[in-house]
Structure 1
Amino acid sequence: MRQHILDNPISYYAIFSSVRYLPTRLCHWLGKLVALIVYAFSRKDRDGLASNLSLALRRPPADPFIRKTIRQIFKNYGHYMVDFFLMPQLPPHKIRRFFAEFKGEEILQSALANGKGVILLTAHLGNWEFGSMFLRFRNYPLNVVALAHNTYSTNALINRLRANKAVNVIEVDRSSFSGIEILSCLRNNEIVAMIGDRDFFGSGRPIDFFGKKVSFPVGPVVLAMKSGAALIPAFVLRQSDGRYFGVLEEAVPFLLEGDRDDVIEKNLGKTARVFEKYIRSYPDQWYCPHPITGRTP
């Protein structure tokens, strides 16, 4: 199960209730305030972020820019949490005000025209949950692959909010059943959104990531190779005006011939290069407090 600094039922239900009754600006202010309080008491998370940002930005962990970026990460996450719980409770015309442009939609349309489905692969960067809103506004069939949260009540709330956005949630575990469901969606020429920058189950492959060997999950790449689906890197990022924009990269050009393990590793490396580019461009929206150098087998 996944864990992060606010992943508990009390925090989630408090935010869910607050955004329903309080003005949005006040909620954003409170979200950032709570995030800064968490920042002050979360040394382990600060140290993990410093280690990761040091690798990504090639600066010492104690560099003033690194420390400033870490503080902004917490503030951005507080803002994101408020929006995540607020938007599903709003009518569609109000939700649209939160979004700016959607770059690269023609890439998605071209991939779907091949009839083999699409895997949208993202990282713990920006506001990945909001990608579903961009797509559902345009009536794309969407499935989201998600890991269960720490408690049943938290998981039920999060999945209820996702369902409100007309998204089919596929919960993954160590069994093969989720993979079967994902392949079924792809064969129906649907979109499957996945996060591919963290190996939660310890079954990934070590690849070069910011100059270190880091274990990446092989599932997205293997499923794309097996199904023939296009694997498109996708991100939702927040602008300086507070609105969100979506961006799709060109489908990753996969190698398909050669030793299977070698091909998988090389294809994983291609996805990692895209992640590196966006993380370096938006370091204050990279929500990864777990040291990536500790994610090798």
Structure 2
Amino acid sequence: MVSHERENHFVISTRSYQADVCGKHLITHKPAIHECYGKGCDRMFPTISGMFIHLESGTCPSKITLKDVNAVVAMYTHHNSIIHSDYNKSLAAMLNREDPPDGFPFHCPGFTPGSLCGKRFELFSGLLQHCESRACNHTFGQDDGGLLSFLHKVLYSESALFKLGRLKANVYSRIELVFPEVLRDGEQEHLEALLILLQMLFRKLLDIIENVQSRLKAAISKHINYQILGLSLGHPSNLDAITGRRGDLSALAGEYASITGNEGRIAGPERMNTSEVFVWNIDTGECQLLHLFLEETTAVFEILSLETQPQ
């Protein structure tokens, strides 16, 4: 530590530094050597925690989100070592990508001198930062079989599979729109017509989605027994009657943009307010704000683009 200070800051001191302060300081000098776990992302990070902050923010081109990180951590065989027992009842919610649990579900399994650490964190990235700072003796190695190795192999594929499965369910389910009480003339009819266009578009995507799903499942089958959580997807009896099921992805993406606009929002009459319009999946019982439904659909198109581009 003294040699680092002499070389970089011209300071010589004999006083004691707290381990976490020294550790955090040294992190600022680390080179960016950690490649993002998300497919299609070329960012490099000096720390694993920095990469997970990036993934939890939802800004990665891979479309991994905070909910995906929490879900896949909860799938890890030894998740109980870092998810506090107070949150055992929240595991199902985490696995199903429901809103993150309030409070501090993650805890450190390491030791400080003379005692168990047990410090708790709201986010997985916070736990990683704590361990990287050398505040206690726990480290997350990247050896095969460990948590980080599991996340590296599974996180992107599992998060992509979940999103593809949700969109696929909208082909096999009855979907309706729920409107506020007051809409201007023509707005309800306009939105309902656009929803029909979207469902027809989803049907054209089926072959592409199913091919990508098969490839992703094969990629992670050695690491996780994957099932689409909460969904039982059988082929509808009238599937053979669906026309135009096959489609070119770029053409379908253009069709989607023409329906929603380049910003992924439903186009319509001027000043139309869609902030209180919900998409209701009658078969699964899920009700979702229209703009969130469209964000998920846009994410699926981006995932399909990543998975179908030449390697």
> Structure 1 length normalisation: TM-score?
0.25
Whichever structure has more helix as a proportion of its residues is 1
Greater length-normalized contact order (CA 8 Å, ≥ 6 residues apart): 1
Larger Rg: 2
> Structure 2 length normalisation: TM-score?
0.24
Whichever structure has more strand as a proportion of its residues is 1
